[in-house]
Amino acid sequence: MDHPEARPDLRSLPQEHLAALVASLGERPFRARQLFRWLHLKGAASLDEMTDVPRALREALAARTDLVTLERATEQRSTDGTIKWTWRTRDGKLVESVYMPEADRRTLCVSSQVGCAVGCTFCLTGTMGLARNLTPGEIVEQVHRANRRLVELGEGEAPRPLTNLVFMGMGEPLANYRALEIALELLLSEDGPNFSHRHVTVSTSGLVPMMRRFGEETQVKLAVSLNATTDAQRDALMPINRRYPLAELLAACRDFPMKQGRRITFEYVLLGGVNDTLEDAERLARLLRGIPAKVNLIPYNENPGLGFSSPAPERVEAFQGVLVARNVTAVVRKHRGRDISAACGQLVAEGGPGDPRRRGAGSGPLTGAPRPG
């Protein structure tokens, strides 16, 4: 499912690999750092932008490597300030990312795959299927293109107006682990965007075998998309539960390395009349006992043709009340970007094969998983 690159993509190279490439061209080591900063601090879209890099080196790189960029296919702005971008890859695939500004942060929701193979029944992204994994360069490119566009729009200071990243867009990040790992290394680099690990969150639907490795090899935060309190319920909503049922998933959460003051965010999409009862809330509190956790309650964003509805506000409040009474930190996430189909569970890549409008079903694209706080 990975996209084959005929030549190495400069944007996808870890710092040490870029240094080795530069050394193989007979250049001094400082040129590698110079190139890296152009690629990942300034987000250069071409070698020609790298004006203080010798022309001979740029020509040598152009002859031996590629520099993958994403084309901005669409941009939609919500009345609440949310911006949704659809990006076109070099091979014509479409992926989406979402910018969510708040008073104290500017967050980008990033995609890790073209589509998603998990198939959660309440999520539009799941209707796409999986076309392929994104490369590390394509993952970080979403951040670079967003940063540059936000500067153009006056949304913040160059070179990096974004403050937070959440890997909660299209795809299951842990199913594209190696690309995710490289992308995180690039994004957290001091010579690059220099995001704090405390401000980066990766969401999983519950890919149990990869969770401990992720915890041991990274310092960023983990979010688990839970959405149910019994196996029967979760089997129906999230097919991955048939492979890794709740007992295995929660054991992996308890075993997750809680270094750097980590706690796990559990995302719980409230589906009207399905998983929003007081009994569900009681079970959820029991399931999370002993895990350093926070629960994000996400009232469902209705999608055409999927057969689910939003819960009544009083049911959401009552559900939260049960959790709080059981000493579980629980926050109700406000809806963002619903008027542009940019809310949780609505990412589909506009005009792509999974877009329900191509089948005459109604409204459109966006995110496969919710945003943590």
> Are 10-64 and 71-359 in the same CATH fold?
no
For 8-40, write each residue's pLDDT tens digit.
999 999 999 999 999 999 999 999 999 999 999
**Cα–Cα separations (whole angstroms), residue 332 to 208, 318, 369:** 26, 11, 15
Helix boundaries (H) for the chain:
15-24, 30-40, 55-64, 136-152, 177-188, 208-217, 231-237, 246-254, 278-287, 313-325
Average pLDDT score over residue span 110-129: 92
Best CA proximity match to 164, nearest among 102, 211, 216: 102
Architecture of domain 71-359: Alpha-Beta Barrel (3.20)
Cβ–Cβ under 8 Å, residues 219 and 200 = no
- The catalytic position among 120, 172, 344, 350 is 344
Would residue 109 show up in a list of annotated catalytic residues for this protein? Answer: no
Domain range annotation of the chain:
10-64, 71-359
What is the pTM (predicted TM-score) of this model? 0.90
Would residue 344 show up in a list of annotated catalytic residues for this protein? Answer: yes
For 236-278, write each residue's pLDDT tens digit.
999 999 999 999 999 999 999 987 778 999 999 999 999 999 9
For 196-247, write each residue's pLDDT tens digit.
999 999 999 999 999 999 999 999 999 999 999 999 999 999 999 999 999 9
CA 338 – CA 350 distance, rounded (Å): 15
Q: What are phi and psi of 267, to 5 degrees?
A: -95, 130
Instruction: Give residue 61's identity as a one-letter amino acid code.
Output: L
Tokens describing residue 270: 């409230």
pLDDT exceeds cutoff 90 at 299: yes
Cβ–Cβ under 8 Å, residues 21 and 35 = no
Fold classification of 10-64 is DNA polymerase; domain 1 (1.10.150)
Q: What are phi and psi of 263, to 5 degrees?
A: -145, 155
- The catalytic position among 27, 96, 138, 302 is 96
- The reported pLDDT for the residue numbered 261 is 75
